[in-house]
Chain A
């Protein structure tokens, strides 16, 4: 473990610095979309859960890298899934945009008047509830798979830590710990962006939501095109 200690600090700092540059460029539109959709309610908790999901995925991927000791083996296996995730992110952003301006009545469908039967339907209602912040954790888990250059680089470091480990378990722990720290480093930037985009600091937001919805649709289309070309 001690051999990777300096690397832990490097990845934490790297996560922090790329968070304010690269991550805002890639995940910023998603974070802004999520915050706008919340309309100023429970923005911080939702963003925290979204980031928690994202960091959990990074940690699991780091563990896999540490176990296999090979970045390319794991990366090639998740490549096709990542393409789908980019497209899914675009669709989610567009749905959130339409929901925000009331074109898709997610709030009505999943309101208190609607009482679905069955565990899955009830669970989906709970997660999809317009004001439920808990939906953001599984969303973060999934969107943590979005392809990102600095994440790949951190995963390479995790794989390298795996090759230097004497036992597979140690490899998993080292890889996971490195990605956990990298992920934690990226959180502050995205939390700040999400909090600012929550617009809780504004009194009149109707026009902004309408303009925001148009921008979100454009961002969603951009993601879908990018996913198709990836």
Chain B
């Protein structure tokens, strides 16, 4: 009789231990799940200003392609998000086959396609209107990738004002 009771107690204990273990596993599962959900947001908010190569709020910025100097300017200054902005690209050196264009994005985050189409306004001078959107994560670092047809692309990474 005693051995039967002991066996029942042991079985019950075993079930409880198993139950606790299963619940713990589920807790870990849910925690990981929620963490995965939040990981992009957390990563976005903790990412610093790494890679900034342009002080666009104070002056224009220049980068070099193999046979061409590319100068980017954005007006009005300081450069604010959610406002209509005038993007100006000045090319010095070899001339492209067609007008350059600018793709706006955020380093390390897919913000969708946001292309600023430029029109020629003078000798080697191109302008277009675009908008840098506000990221709710609070990140302010943006990237403007200038593509000069046939000559290549160059990136300007800068901070904007929210």
Contacts and interface: CB of A to CB of B under 8 A. Distances in A.
Nearest to A36: B30
Interface string A194-206: 0011010010110
B114 A153 contact: yes
Contact of A147 (B26, B27, B112, B136): B136
Interface stretch (A16-24, A45-53, A120-128): A16-24
A72 B34 contact: no
A145 B51 CA distance: 32
A149 B134 contact: yes
B112 A153 contact: yes
A71 interface: yes
B38 A29 contact: yes
Interface string A202-216: 101101100110010
SS class of chain A's interface: helix, strand, loop or mixed?
A: helix
A193 B37 contact: yes
Contacts of B112: 11, 14, 18, 149-150, 153-154
Which of A10, A86, A152, A193 is packed against the most chain B CB atoms within 10 Å? A152
B138 interface: yes
B52 interface: no
A153 B113 contact: yes
Given A26-B41, A230-B136, A207 B111 contact: no
A212 B136 contact: no
A117 interface: no
Interface string A34-47: 00000000000000
Contact of B26 (A18, A21, A28, A202): A202
Nearest to A196: B33
A226 interface: yes
Interface residues of A, number: 45
Contacts of A193: 37
Contacts of B9: none
Given A154-B112, A204-B23, A24 B37 contact: yes
Interface of B: 19, 22-23, 26-27, 30-31, 33-34, 37-41, 44, 82-84, 106, 109-114, 131, 133-138
Given A25-B39, A149-B109, 12 more contacts: A18-B112, A25-B38, A28-B37, A29-B38, A32-B37, A70-B84, A149-B137, A152-B131, A153-B114, A197-B33, A204-B19, A211-B31
Interface of A: 10-11, 14, 17-18, 21-22, 24-26, 28-29, 32, 70-72, 75-76, 79, 86, 146-150, 152-154, 156-157, 193, 196-197, 199, 202, 204-205, 207-208, 211-212, 215, 226, 229-230
17 contacts: A18-B112, A22-B109, A22-B110, A25-B40, A25-B41, A29-B34, A29-B37, A32-B34, A71-B131, A149-B111, A149-B133, A150-B110, A156-B133, A157-B113, A199-B30, A204-B26, A229-B138
